[in-house]
């Protein structure tokens, strides 16, 4: 039986995920502004935004529009509840990689459902672009993780992180793979040059075009938690997790801010360019990496 305490820890993890990532994305805004020679908002501006949005009246396009959004947030919260962080493992024994990926995908699907239900074709186009990109970055990412699971003989995220503490980080074993995983992560975070699905000037922010008021607020919360899950996965799987919470958070911030800085200085690719890029470079590098890994480490029982 799962103890109540574990559920408490899990809920705490989801809350912490939101608080930390919302704060960090405020810092991200500040840094981006400074790179672009602006002053930028205060670091806690995103908290203000969310509370302001949640208190605003808005319009709805029907019950599916609402339901999709709830699924999106529930998927994000549910996923964060399983995420291990340094020594803190909320639901010990069940932090399975495939489970977390598919539960996170349910959140993404909920978001897509809500956007589709808005009736705005721009939203549908945005979702199509997002899902097309999704094939591009998830495929190499998941193949690399499957290679890791095969190597470490566990699909538990905390297990993989713990083994890296002993055997050295995965980044040392598959440098090319980590590069690919980082490119994928950059895409998952929707940072430039891979933000074609948001593209305010072409598809009016795509999936988000119809969201305002509390809908945008909830979407924001779901987005920040999803970002937490994506970066934590990267840190846990490729950068050895953390022996202490401080180490984990340091790696987390480094990865996130690196992605932010890169995003701040890049332009946007067109959707075809994104797709072609992903199907050439990351997938090619992944094949090379899997071959190298198999040669060097056997990788097979």
Instruction: Verify binding: residue 268, another protein, rule CB under 8 A.
Output: no
Separation of alpha carbons 184 and 180, rounded Å = 6
Instruction: Verify binding: residue 271, another protein, rule CB under 8 A.
Output: yes
Separation of alpha carbons 232 and 114, rounded Å = 26
Query: Looking at beta carbons only, is 113 or 261 nearer to another protein?
Result: 113
Nearest approach in angstroms of CB 240 to another protein is 19
Q: Which of 9, 11, 31, 268 contacts another protein by CB under 8 A?
A: 11
Separation of alpha carbons 174 and 8, rounded Å = 36
Q: What are the DSSP calls for 3-44, one per residue?
A: -HHHHHHHHHHHHHHHHHHHHHHHHHHHHHHHHTT-----TT
Handedness of CA 28, 34, 36, 42 (dihedral sign): positive
Separation of alpha carbons 169 and 163, rounded Å = 9
Query: Looking at beta carbons only, is 28 or 112 nearer to another protein?
Result: 112
Separation of alpha carbons 54 and 213, rounded Å = 6
Stretch that binds another protein, among 33-41, 50-58, 165-173, 239-247 (CB under 8 A): 50-58
Q: Which of 132, 262, 266, 277 contacts another protein by CB under 8 A?
A: 132
Applying the rule CB under 8 A, the residues between 135 and 174 that interact with another protein are 135, 138-139, 142-143, 146-147, 149-150, 153-156
Residue 135, C-beta contacts closer than 8 angstroms, at least 6 positions apart: none
Instruction: Verify binding: residue 279, another protein, rule CB under 8 A.
Output: yes
Separation of alpha carbons 228 and 123, rounded Å = 24
Nearest approach in angstroms of CB 165 to another protein is 18
Applying the rule CB under 8 A, the residues between 76 and 115 that interact with another protein are 76-78, 81-82, 91, 93-94, 96-99, 102-103, 105-106, 108-109, 112-113
Query: Looking at beta carbons only, is 36 or 55 nearer to another protein?
Result: 55
Q: Which of 34, 48, 276, 284 contacts another protein by CB under 8 A?
A: 276
Instruction: Verify binding: residue 127, another protein, rule CB under 8 A.
Output: yes
Instruction: Verify binding: residue 17, another protein, rule CB under 8 A.
Output: no
Nearest approach in angstroms of CB 296 to another protein is 14
Residue 229, C-beta contacts closer than 8 angstroms, at least 6 positions apart: 17, 76, 79, 80, 83, 100, 104
How does DSSP classify residue 194? S
Q: How many CB atoms lie within 10 A of CB 63?
A: 9
Phi, psi of 126 (to 5 degrees): -60, -45
Q: Which of 31, 179, 213, 269 contacts another protein by CB under 8 A?
A: 213
Separation of alpha carbons 260 and 25, rounded Å = 9
Query: Looking at beta carbons only, is 34 or 272 nearer to another protein?
Result: 272
Instruction: Verify binding: residue 237, another protein, rule CB under 8 A.
Output: no
Q: Which of 29, 30, 129, 173 contacts another protein by CB under 8 A?
A: 129
Query: Looking at beta carbons only, is 42 or 135 nearer to another protein?
Result: 135
């Amino acid at each position: 039986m799962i103890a109540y305490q574990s559920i408490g820890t899990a809920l705490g993890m989801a809350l912490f995920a939101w608080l930390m990532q919302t704060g960090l994305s405020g810092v991200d805004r500040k840094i981006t502004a400074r790179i672009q020679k602006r002053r930028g908002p205060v670091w806690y501006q995103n908290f203000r935004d969310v509370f302001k949005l949640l208190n605003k009246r808005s319009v709805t396009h029907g019950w599916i529009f609402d339901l999709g959004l709830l699924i999106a947030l529930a998927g994000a919260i549910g996923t964060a509840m399983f995420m291990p962080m340094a020594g803190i493992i909320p639901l010990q024994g069940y932090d399975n990689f495939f489970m977390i990926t598919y539960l996170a995908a349910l959140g993404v699907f909920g978001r897509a459902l809500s956007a589709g239900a808005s009736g705005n074709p721009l939203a549908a186009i945005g979702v199509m672009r997002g899902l097309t990109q999704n094939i591009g970055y998830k495929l190499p990412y998941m193949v690399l993780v499957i290679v890791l699971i095969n190597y470490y003989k566990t699909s538990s995220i905390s297990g993989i992180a713990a083994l890296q503490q002993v055997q050295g980080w995965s980044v040392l074993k598959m440098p090319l793979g980590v590069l690919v995983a980082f490119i994928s992560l950059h895409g998952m975070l929707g940072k430039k040059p891979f933000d074609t699905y948001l593209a305010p000037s072409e598809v009016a922010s795509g999936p988000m075009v119809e969201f305002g008021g509390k809908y945008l607020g909830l979407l924001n919360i779901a987005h920040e938690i999803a970002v937490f899950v994506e970066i934590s996965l990267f840190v846990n799987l490729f950068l050895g997790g953390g022996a202490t919470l401080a180490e984990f958070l340091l790696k987390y911030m480094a990865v996130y801010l690196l992605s932010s800085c890169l995003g701040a200085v890049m332009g946007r690719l067109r959707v075809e360019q994104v797709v072609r890029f992903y199907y050439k470079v990351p997938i090619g590098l992944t094949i090379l990496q899997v071959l190298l890994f198999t040669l060097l480490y056997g990788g097979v029982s």
